[in-house]
Structure 1
Amino acid sequence: MSEVEQSTKLDLERIIFIGRTYEEYLNMFLLKVEDLKGKKILDCPAGACSFTAVGNRSGLDVTACDIAYFHSSEELRRKGIQDIDHAMEHMHKAQKNFKWDYFKDIDGLRNHRLNALQECSKDMKDSGEKYIPATLPTLPFENEEFDILLSAHFLFMYGDRLDYQFHIDSINELVRVTKEEVRIFPLVDLEGKRYEHLEKVTSYLENNGFKVEEVRVPYEFQLNANSMLRIYKG
């Protein structure tokens, strides 16, 4: 293991390896598959999501990056199963904080999470070059290497743990590696409250020449988590 890996690799026990399905991504980010054809797409951080696996199988060009990918696919698969079980136990106590029209019930949610994990871990074995270990706010990619970047369930959600400067540094990095636009979902924290510095972030981006738009999306599982931020370059 290199010195870089040793310094960036997070203890597996501190990683929560849970992901969303390809279909959830289409709804969360208001995506049309025909608009993605011919584009280079980065999912960051991707976790155990199946968007890369299913997207590439469907003819898209998707790369995933995440701090979790410093670990092997089998380690992550085992960790993912444990994390899903733990999350479902918690979900029984917190059902009122979620809308149940998309998944219907906890068993439906579990099936979606297991499906995403299975697709992701299998694809990591078969197409490992598409899963790049990385630790925000630094990414191992060239300037404007990707056309579109999708970032789900990380920035803004952890406003109580990641300070404003971390968000700015990370968004600057997401924008740096992207040619056309960055989409971030959702805009609320873990309690379903709007990220407290969102307007400040928006003003910062606009002052630096970017067009920023808040867009409602046809997906809401966590209460109030039903909109994304679109950051346009150029």
Structure 2
Amino acid sequence: MTAANGLRTRGRGRTSKPKQELERIIFIGRTFEEYMQMFDLQHEDLEGKSILDCPSGACSFTAVGGQQGLDIMSCDIAYDHAPDDLETKGLAGIAHALDTMEDAKDLFLWDFYGDVQGLGKHRYSALEHCIRDMKNRPERYVPAVLPSLPFQDKRFDLIVSAHFLFMYGDRLDLDFHRKTVNELIRVASHEVRIFPLVDLTGTRCEYVDMLKSELSAAGLQVEERVVPYEFLRHANSMLVIRKR
């Protein structure tokens, strides 16, 4: 994902905004394999469905999924920038993250990656696949600024959203979360999955329960589900929102 907000959006008659400065973007992503565990997905859950990853950053979910015949699209504030520039930014970001990881290792569980080197393999792999796919299939990478998306109502069967909502609750207020979740629901025909439900310290975000109550009151099915993935301690559950 990219931890910045401010690119222009396209469609639905919204006013354009200036391109987000590359210096403000953190362009790091997760692999297809990580996504499958984070969102508790099996391949058959994705077959024949239209899927959106938002915000996607340097994740390889769209790229590797496309190689497997899946219909996945990525959306992120970073995608107005050239792939080569994003690759340079991503490489620098991964190197910095890995350098600082040694001092924070106790905040994490290493069952999935093994060690910092294993984590690095996933981060570099995600970036490589993402950049290559951006060059080969640019139409799959749509720039947009949350909480607005340039898609029609019910455009996607399934939307997955990782490491953005709830993680930055100290910087993004309840109103932003409410508008963003409602926008994801608008462009979903069936289901939205959000992971994780904690902030950067592993503390449950206070907005989760507020939004669960509001969404249930609005007639949506809301489920909190433990997933077979935990890296940041206590970040092992997702919010599943279904339209009835």
Shorter-normalised TM range? over 0.9
Asked if 1 retains the 8 angstrom alpha-carbon contact of 2:55 and 2:161, the reply is yes
Query: Any idea what SS the aligned residue of 1:75 has?
Result: helix
Please, which of 218, 234, 240 is the counterpart of residue 230 of structure 1?
240
Aligned match for 2:118, one of 105, 108, 123: 108
Counterpart of 1:41 in structure 2 is 51
Conserved? CA contact 1:148–1:178, under 8 Å:
yes
Superposed displacement of residue 112, structure 1:
0.5
2:217 aligned with 1:196, yes or no? no
**Residue in 2 that maps onto 1:171:** 181
Q: 1:26 to 1:4 in 2, by over 3 A?
A: closer
What's the Cα RMSD here?
1.3
Alignment partners' CA distance in 2, 1:115 and 1:185: 21
Are positions 1:152 and 2:201 aligned together?
Answer: no
Q: Report matched runs for 1:58-207 at 5 Å.
A: 58-207=68-217
Structure 2 CA distance, aligned partners of 1:134 and 1:4?
A: 4
List gaps (5 residues or longer) in structure 2: 1-7, 11-15
2:4 equivalent in structure 1: none
Paired residues of 2:9 and 2:144 also in contact (CA < 8 A): no
Structure 1 residue 197, shift from structure 2 partner: 1.8
- How big is each residue's C-alpha offset from its partner over 1:69-100, in whole Å with a ceiling of 9 and x where there is no partner? 01111110000000001101111110000001
Q: Match of 2:233, as an amino acid?
A: L
Structure-1 separation of matches of 2:177 and 2:9: 23
Shift of 1:156: 0.3
What TM-score, normalized to structure 2? 0.93
CA distance in 1, matches of 2:186, 2:208: 20
| Code of the aligned partner of 2:46 | L
The CA deviation string for residues 152-205 of structure 1, in whole angstroms up to 9 with x for no partner, is: 000000000000000000000000000000000000000100011211110010
Deviation of the 1:62 alpha carbon: 0.2
Count matched residues: 233
CA contact (8 A) 2:37 2:229 kept: yes
Q: What fraction of aligned residue pairs are identical, expressed as a percent?
A: 56
Q: Return the TM-score normalized by structure 1.
A: 0.97
Instruction: Classify 1:4/1:25 alpha carbon distance in 2 versus 1 (closer, same or farther; 3 Å).
Output: closer
**2:40 aligned to 27, 30, 33, which one?**
30
Query: Which residue of 212, 220, 235 corresponds with 1:210?
Result: 220
Is the Cα–Cα contact under 8 Å of residues 220 and 242 in structure 2 kept in the other structure? yes
Q: CA deviation digits over 1:14-64, x for unaligned, max 9?
A: 111000000000000000111211100000000000000000110100000
Moved over 4 A (4+): 3-6
Contact kept in structure 2, 1:155 and 1:184, CA below 8 Å: yes
Cα distance in 2 for residues equivalent to 1:8 and 1:106: 37
Contact 2:159 2:193 in 1 (8 A): yes
| Pair 92,126 (structure 1): closer, same or farther in 2 beyond 3 Å | same
Q: Is the 8 A contact 1:18 1:83 kept in 2?
A: yes
SS at match of 2:121: helix
1:8/1:135 contact within 8 Å kept? no
Aligned partner letter, 1:187: L
Match of 1:56 among 39, 51, 66: 66
- CA-CA distance at 1:4 after TM superposition: 6.1
